[in-house]
Chain A
Amino acid sequence: MTVSVPQPATRQYRRLTPAVRLGTRSSFLLLLTTLFGIAAFAWPLLIHQSSGPNSAHNGDAPWIFVGLVPLLLAIVMAELSEGAIDAKAVALLGILAACFAALRVPSPGINGFEPEWFLLILAARVFGRGFGFVLGATAFFASALITGGVGPWLPFQMLAAAWVGFGAGCLPPMRGFPERLMLAGYGVVSALVYGLLTNFWFWPFVGGSTTTYSFVPGLGTIENLHRFILFDLTTSMGFDLTRAVTCAVLVLVLGRPVLAALRRASRRAVFEPTIEFVDQAGDETVLSGQARENAGAGRQRNEPSHPAAGPRSSPREP
């Protein structure tokens, strides 16, 4: 993520510190969860024809994933939050999840008008991919609790939204209108992909087993995919398109002020602040940035260490 686009060298374009750092271990776990998650969504395509008494297990497969996905999410969230989520990030996470829920309350995902997506994408864009991942999952969890909608679909929604947030945090640096255009494009793509993924999960349940586009175990990946796409087009394309268009329009209309507000918040929160303790103020001269750069003896630099590398500047216990 060190690609830099030539930009006027103003403060505006300074890359902001991500709110949640991703260490090696958490990145690895994230990758693993993603792989398992893909399996959890796409199992109807992967599952093999089986015969004999074990075929009953095919009916259980979706429910195994209902149990597995929360476990995976718990592991990733625990790993991500270990030392990496400080008070500022948690407070921000909570408040943004509340904004997300407030946007979601009028239409809990039924009619496709889901303005909350744009907030997730913009927030993830500003606060980084780690935060985006956590925000996606947390926001869905919170809004499900608020609307009393904790159902078997929740872990899957959380995982899919976490990916959407993660993806938005990975987009290349860019500013101004091109950035908003890129985000709007990402909004369309991610909204459609999200719809596709959640449909994948729903398909074996709703599609039945006797219709011409229902999931048939062992029919082969390609054939099942074909059937699934037909299912998706006929049943939920309308919702998904509404979601995508809502998201893109909101990004274009509200993107500039909302991005500015989020970036201001990020600057003001000062994630991973540079903290210096100087034994004595040397002289009357003001400690300018230059002076700080040339910090000499008698100074201790307390920059927080990388979370994966160990605990932050360890305080002495009394």
Chain B
Amino acid sequence: MNRAAAPRHRSLHPVAWWLWASGLAICAMRTNNPFLLALIGAVACFVVSVCRSSAPWSRSIAFFLRIGVIVIVIRVVIEILFGQRGVPGHVLFTLPHVPLPSWAEAVSIGGGVTSESILNAFVAGLQIAVILLCFGAANSLASPYRLLRSLPAVLYETGVAVTVALAFTPELVLSIGVVRQARRQRGIPIRGVRGLRGVAVPVLESALDRSLQLATSMDARGYGRRISVGPGSRRLASGATTAGLLLVAVGLYGVIDSGSLFGLGLPIMAVAAVLCGTGLALGGRRSARSRYRPDPWRRPEWVVAGSGVAALAALSVAHGLNVAGLTVSFSPLAFPNIPLLPIVGILVAVVPALVAPRPMSPAAGQGVGDPAAVEPGTPVDGGRPASSEPDLSGARA
């Protein structure tokens, strides 16, 4: 079982996955054709099912699916209960009117519910659900640890804190089990208020002790060493950031009040974002750090990210050509057009399923970042939360 000798399966750069997913998500934002939306969702789900590893985070798409369904349901229920009445359409059923106090008289409950309104609400919900699904796909495919490593240098401190949190959480969940057990040994009830206190305080105390030990280690291992950057570079960085923020303010005004600034809100915002990004990148230079084996960006990464962009481009071109069927309405009730160009574009986004390298067996992720995999009641061999006993790790694996 010599892993070093075997050719290393690699996992795709997480940013590539996020770009791909963002491309799909923006596609979903720009159309409300239910067929296109369903296709986007299907593409995302298919790629996830082919490309995901067996790491714990790869299951998170299910969570997003659930949220998506909830959104659709809420949207439809709200429409049924509080929808605007008096719009012409095919009445499905009629709810009785409920009188409301005067402060809420703007809301009307009850009345005739039309199939048009329900369909419109469903499609609006579906759009959000598909956007969420794209995010879920990115969550499932990109390892959070690797994503953290791709954080810009200027956010290094935050990245370290989050890395520590990710690594420590499963241990913490285990230690809750250990403390509960110790509590029982003292004959103290583990339920109720006193039980809560008795468990929470020792867990917190030992966690805080750990933070001090960790800080010692980090300090002794060179955390926070900086090179002194020249005042010029420093000024440039903060200048770019400040200018960016000012432009953001202007751009915001333009976006919110779209009548002003000749509709230039969006371009201004884009320039502002670039300026801010430049400022951040320059600010990142103050750190003397180097990166160990950064995730490579090779051809598969280009293809995966490119396929997402291609889907978006196809949709944008279709928008530009005013292809029918991108924005549909169900009042009056009508079967929407099915435009060909966007369908081809979205289908390009399936390519990752073919080109993405297969993820390696998640040895690096053995039970990590997955508190749910840790049975809280597992007796830790040794009683120390930081147990060194391999049989515990075996139980976790």
Contact = CB atoms under 8 A, between A and B. Distances in A.
A94 B211 contact: yes
Interface string A205-226: 1111111110000000000001
Interface in B221-258: 223-224, 226, 228, 238, 241, 245, 248-249, 252, 255-258
Given A46-B256, A254-B197, A81 B283 contact: no
B275 to A, nearest CB: 10
A258 B204 contact: yes
A94 B265 contact: no
Nearest to B276: A71
Contacts of A43: 256
B190 interface: no
Contacts of A99: 172, 203-204, 207
A174 interface: no
B193 interface: yes
A83 B156 CA distance: 12
Contacts of B256: 39, 43, 46-48, 61
Contacts of B257: 47-48, 50
Contacts of B79: 208, 210-211
A148 to B, nearest CB: 2
Contact of B214 (A29, A47, A94, A208): A94
B140 A148 contact: yes
Contacts of A314: 228
A36 B272 CA distance: 13
B164 interface: yes
Contacts of A148: 56-57, 59-60, 63, 136, 139-140, 144
Contact of A39 (B26, B83, B252): B252
B283 A212 contact: no
A295 interface: no
Interface residues of B, number: 103
A100 to B, nearest CB: 8
B40 to A, nearest CB: 15
A85 B79 CA distance: 49
A264 B209 CA distance: 10
A278 interface: no
B107 A91 contact: no
B196 interface: yes
B1 interface: no
A152 interface: yes
B344 interface: no
Given A75-B280, A86-B224, A105 B173 contact: yes
Interface string B152-179: 1011111011111110110011001000
Which size bracket describes the interface of A in this complex?
35 or more
A243 B263 CA distance: 41
B197 A257 contact: yes
Given A39-B252, A71-B273, A211-B83, A81 B135 contact: no
24 contacts: A32-B245, A51-B259, A59-B29, A68-B252, A68-B269, A74-B155, A77-B155, A83-B226, A90-B157, A90-B215, A90-B223, A96-B207, A98-B169, A99-B203, A138-B165, A149-B63, A150-B135, A210-B79, A254-B200, A257-B197, A258-B200, A265-B209, A269-B212, A311-B226
Interface of B: 26, 29, 56-57, 59-60, 63-64, 67, 71, 74-75, 78-79, 82-84, 87, 104, 106-108, 117, 120-121, 124, 128, 131-132, 135-136, 138-140, 144, 147-148, 152, 154-158, 160-166, 168-169, 172-173, 176, 193, 196-197, 200-201, 203-205, 207-212, 214-216, 218-219, 223-224, 226, 228, 238, 241, 245, 248-249, 252, 255-259, 263, 265-266, 269, 273, 276-277, 279-280, 283, 286, 369, 371-372
Interface of A: 25, 29, 32, 36, 39, 43, 46-48, 50-51, 54-55, 57-61, 63-64, 67-68, 71-72, 74-75, 77-78, 81-83, 85-88, 90-102, 105, 108, 134, 137-139, 141-142, 145-152, 205-213, 226-227, 230, 234-235, 253-254, 257-258, 261-262, 264-265, 268-269, 311, 314
Given A67-B273, A102-B169, 18 more contacts: A36-B248, A46-B256, A48-B259, A50-B259, A57-B265, A91-B215, A94-B160, A98-B164, A102-B371, A142-B165, A145-B369, A148-B59, A148-B139, A148-B144, A150-B138, A152-B131, A212-B107, A265-B209
